[in-house]
Chains A and B, each alone.
Chain A
Amino acid sequence: MEIVLAVMIGVLYAAGIYMILRRSLVKLILGIIILGNGANLLIFLLGRITKGRPPIIPGDLKVFAEAYADPIPQALILTAIVISFGLQSFAIILIKRAYKVVKTDDLDEMNAIDQDS
């Protein structure tokens, strides 16, 4: 399964980069989100995956009695997911503003804007 996931992460990265390289602003944002998803999975996979054993101490025990999934990548990813939401919404709003001002979502036409406005 790890190999399949590794390939999937590669696909996510490739798709993300490909979208970022497009000229449309919307695709740029979608690309960033996909890339972020890829990065989350990457951290998750590199922390080694464990099936069916969440890092929650069961019942009356005080420490884990058996193997458990690594909690650190999970904590990292959890914050990353929430932060990326903040970043995404900010980016989306930037797009909207940019679109309002320049009336185009073509990135190539945007690089002249610095001088105008």
Chain B
Amino acid sequence: MLIAILVGFIFSMFLVVAGKFFRGKPAILSALIPLGLFAYFAQFIGQVSEGGVIIQSYNWVPSFGVNLGFTLDGLSLLFSLMITGIGFLVFVYTSSYLKEHQYLDRFYGYLSMFMAAMLGLVLSDNMISLFIFWELTSISSFFLIGFNNSSEASRKSAITALAVTGLGGMSLLAGALVLGSVGGSYSIVELLNSSGEIAASPFYIIIVILMFGAAFTKSAQFPFHFWLPGAMKAPTPVSTYLHSATMVKAGIYLLMRFTPVLGSTEFWNSTLLIVGAVTMVYAAIHTLFRRDLKGILAYSTIAALGILVFLIGQGTEAALLAAALFIAVHALYKATLFLVTGIIDHQTHTRDVTILRGLRKVMLPVAIAGFLAAISSAGIPPTLGFLGKELTYESTLAVIGTPLLWITLILITKIFLLHAGFVAGISPFVGKLPEKFSNTKKPGILLWLPPVILSVMGLSLGIFPGLIEPIIYPVVTAMGEDVGNEHLALWHGFNTVLWLSIATIVVGTVLYFVLKPSQRLEASAARVEFLSPKSIFSGLWHYFNKFSSLWTAFFQNGYLRNYVSTIILFLIGLSGYALYKTASFSLDLSTLSRITGYEMAVVVIMFLAILFTVFTRSRLAAVASMGVVGLAICLLFVFYSAPDLAMTQFSIDTLTVILFVLVLYRLPIYLKLSDYRTRIKDGVLSLGFGTIITILILEVLATPVDKTISQYYAENAYVLAHGKNVVNVILVDFRGSDTFMEISVLAIAAIGVFALLKLRLKETDQR
């Protein structure tokens, strides 16, 4: 399974070098990858439908408990099949849609990276690797939305999408970490055993909120939905693949995956019910006010995602079954509608529903696909959509509490979605073909075949629902619910559900004939736009930008002194506070060594030399007195049993002074650059820092010291390393590799000096 996931990444890396080859005709060959993967995952259908779960685990960072564990159960399988199956059709479609595009290879690179990341996401058992794949999908989505990077709107939409989903990613990581520490494992399978403890833990609410944050941003739930319509700036294959069929369902996947772990509580269910309901109704109403085909589809996708969240919120076996089926239904018809829209856009260069008419005369196969998708979306028998809708109504009717409210909301949503589906799938093809579209070229087979395949599947699976049962039922099993023996069927007899279906179809069809999309409607929606979450978000964004530029201007002002002062001020403040709180000031004076006269003399000389270095007006005097400071330190090393240090310090001191003298008299003399007040301010600051350091040292000296490591070195210096100078033995033997690194660093510094002086000078010589 690891290879199945990696193959997408490998392919996208391969395109970096072999991109030129894939830009032309051979592009379609890349579709073999999703096709192969589809076949690979399809072979597991039998095993999984009998309740089998395939688990594979690889060690990755075992010390952090991060393993590459992969689980293929019903839920993962449904998603994997969707990802690879629709992926295959999208790959094929793209080869024609973006034919001869100058960056076609890049596009395939992003697409296959996304596919691999998405597969990793749905197969991961470890929450950390799930998070990584989750972020990878966000990133590849960012690149794909901004694919037309010469357009500013594209770039802006891409960054909005990345900001929103990235926020969700952080939320997911935080949630995973908290969940991992509460549940004692990062493996989702293992967490299943401790779901009771998790629900009882005080962190339960936090975990759920964080997980919701991730799922709602990714799956475009209200009020985070606004990035999705913006994401429609991406080329249509991307909208089809990422922003309707797969990636936006990652949030749904997350909710379903964690239903057995976190679900079945009042908080979980009612939040999901409410958020899902608000989203679906809000987005469904929005579809009425759009005339851009992709805009309509974007909002109807949000509404569909709302329905899914709503169904997961119900949490019953029937609802989860309905959700699982609806995922498949929606992927089939919405991908078709997107692909159809893409063809219309590609051939006629417009997506405005108010002017598109009668296109069936120039693109009949596309019209058929659009029609089938529209009726599936409308839930008209005998399509799979009808089954999905029936199950949705059935489970909603069973909601405890106020089923009437929920059934009304879902009914409204379904009616509007039917309208949206008809507008997108039927209205461009009916009526009289306008003059200007009469020369429209017929789309190639690579364009129209994918939507036709998808829509025919939607129809045939509706007629033979037994075919999809082995894929759908294990999904529910994977969520810890038992599926009854009941089979999916079109006909359930005359009951409430059927009457609701009939009502939906009738009202929706009437609505379609009465309410045509128009500019007037779109304008009226634009008038309340300032209230939408998108405007609020971009307002916040604006102020955040302003704030950060103020912040940057204040702290990153280019004056080194200000940086240093800020850092020192904070250091003084924080460590001063910590010392004030915890310091004991109880230094045992008896353990200290005595002060002798010559030591005192050295210290006094050092003190005077420091003062002289700081305050002298002559540079040479400053360098010389700094040399004296170095020599004084050297003497201290001699007094306190560090002959090696003394020798080194002495040599380095000599060399430094020579170095300074060599360079210095080419530099200007000191000027009194700072005024009196600055000097006082800096003086106070540095004295404060010095005081803190002194107190800190005294405080450390008061605590006992652990000498185990020193003892080890001292005892083994001769025995193991045949040396008697322990310092040298540590340097060349015990810590030899550290020393090796150090001399490498030294060499780099020397090369730096050499390059800085010699190479630059040669360059100027040439000039």
Contacts and interface: CB of A to CB of B under 8 A. Distances in A.
Q: Quick check: do A and B touch in the complex, using CB within 8 A? A: yes
A10 B637 contact: no
Nearest to A7: B694
B697 interface: yes
B652 A71 contact: no
Interface centre among A12, A78, A88 (most CB of B within 10 A): A78
Interface string A29-53: 0100110011011101111111111
Give the interface SS of chain A, mostly helix, strand, loop or mixed. Answer: helix
Nearest to B741: A79
B686 A14 contact: yes
A29 B551 CA distance: 29
Contacts of A25: 667
Given A14-B689, A18-B682, A57-B718, A78 B731 contact: yes
A92 B668 contact: no
A6 to B, nearest CB: 4
B39 interface: no
Interface string A9-35: 111111111111111111110100110
Interface residues of A, number: 90
Contacts of A30: 613, 622-623, 626
Contacts of A85: 652, 655-656
A20 B561 CA distance: 7
A6 B696 CA distance: 9
Given A19-B614, A50-B640, A57-B717, A92 B691 contact: no
Nearest to A48: B705
Interface string B623-648: 10010011001001101111111001
B674 interface: yes
Contact of B614 (A18, A49, A90): A18
Given A13-B689, A21-B685, A82-B746, A57 B724 contact: yes
B731 A79 contact: yes
Contacts of B636: 5, 41, 44
Contact of B642 (A54, A104, A107): A54
Contacts of B645: 44, 74, 77-78, 81
For this complex, into which size category does the number of interface residues on chain B fall?
Answer: 35 or more
B581 interface: no
Given A8-B606, A56-B724, A92-B659, A50 B641 contact: yes
Contacts of B639: 51
A11 B690 contact: yes
B521 to A, nearest CB: 51
Contacts of A40: 633
Given A3-B592, A11-B610, A21 B659 contact: no
Contacts of B682: 17-18, 21-22
Contact of B641 (A26, A53, A57, A77): A53
Contacts of A62: 718-719
B670 interface: yes
Interface string B684-713: 011101110110011011000101011001
Given A86-B745, A107-B560, A24 B673 contact: yes
B201 interface: no
Q: Top 10 nearest A-B pairs by Cβ distance?
A: A14-B690, A111-B558, A10-B694, A86-B749, A69-B641, A10-B690, A17-B686, A71-B726, A18-B686, A57-B724
Given A21-B565, A44-B642, A62-B718, 16 more contacts: A1-B594, A4-B600, A18-B614, A21-B685, A22-B674, A23-B561, A26-B619, A30-B622, A37-B633, A50-B640, A72-B730, A89-B659, A96-B667, A99-B666, A105-B668, A108-B559
